[in-house]
Every structure is written in structure tokens, then in C-alpha cells.
Amino acid sequence: MNLITRNTDYAIRALCYIVKSNKNMVSVRELVEGLKMPGPFLRKILQELSRKGILRSYKGKNGGFVLAIRPEKIYVGELIEIFQGPIKLQEHIFRKKICPEIKSCILKKKIDEIEEYTISELNSLSISSLLKTGRQDK
């Protein structure tokens, strides 16, 4: 199970790069070179972030991307949902059907608690807080 896919990871890294750059606008070329990511793949991620209102895009020779909202308002949980869908640790499926013991399963109850805690933590982890944590680790 991968909690964070490559799309989500690249989105987080790109947003952190844009914030750290302290520029009015960051070009796709700069992001590709600075993050060493494949251009076409990164463009799709940036376009999706733009569609979701997290980035603003500007076309043309001097175009690029800027944050549409402040980094302390962009949460990892939100990014996971954009690129991966709802966060679900398990669906309690057995042989391609909902488990008949779903109402009384003690394991499911514990996993539901872990899932609720995980979602809460991811929804409280912002791009801004990631950057602050990264500075403290150095």
C-alpha cells in the first residue's frame, strides 16, 4: 500500500519549490530543472493544481505558476485527495464482496480509528509546516 503516490509526491515537492523560490512566478522549465522531474508529467500535475485553484498559471514567454492560496492553507490531505481520491486504509472487502462481519469486526473498528487519526494528521499538515520542519532538520 502506498499512502503517497508519485503524483502527490511531485505536487508537494513542486509546491514547496514554488514557495521556497520567493519569486513572483516560477516557470515549468525552472521546476523541471530544479526538481529533476520529467517535464510532461510535471506539467500535468501543475495543470491539475491550477484547475483545483491551488496554483494560477500564466501563459507565454514569461509565463509560469504562482500560488493561488497561501502555503499554510494547502494541506497534504487535500493533495492526496486531488491525485489519489479519498484516503482509505481498507474497505473491508473479502472475496470481492463487503465482509459479512463488517458490523462486529474488531479489526475493522481499530483500522477505522487509525484511518481517522491518519486523515486528521494529513489534513493538518500544510505546505508551510513542511517547509518549517525541513528547516529545523538541517
Domains and CATH numbers, the chain: 6-137 (1.10.10.10)
pLDDT in tens, 37-70: 999 999 999 999 999 999 999 998 888 999 999 9
Nine-digit cell at 31?
521546476
Name the pLDDT band for 138 (thresholds 50, 70, 90): very low
Rounded to whole angstroms, how far apart are CA atoms 83 and 52? 11
User: Is the predicted pLDDT of residue 16 greater than 90, yes or no?
Assistant: yes
CB 84 within 8 A of CB 5: yes
CB 123 within 8 A of CB 70: no
Rounded to whole angstroms, how far apart are CA atoms 6 and 44? 12
User: Is the predicted pLDDT of residue 137 greater than 50, yes or no?
Assistant: no
Name the pLDDT band for 72 (thresholds 50, 70, 90): very high
CB 54 within 8 A of CB 68: yes
User: Is the predicted pLDDT of residue 103 greater than 90, yes or no?
Assistant: no
Residue % of the chain over a pLDDT of 90:
64
Nine-digit cell at 91?
474497505
Name the pLDDT band for 135 (thresholds 50, 70, 90): low
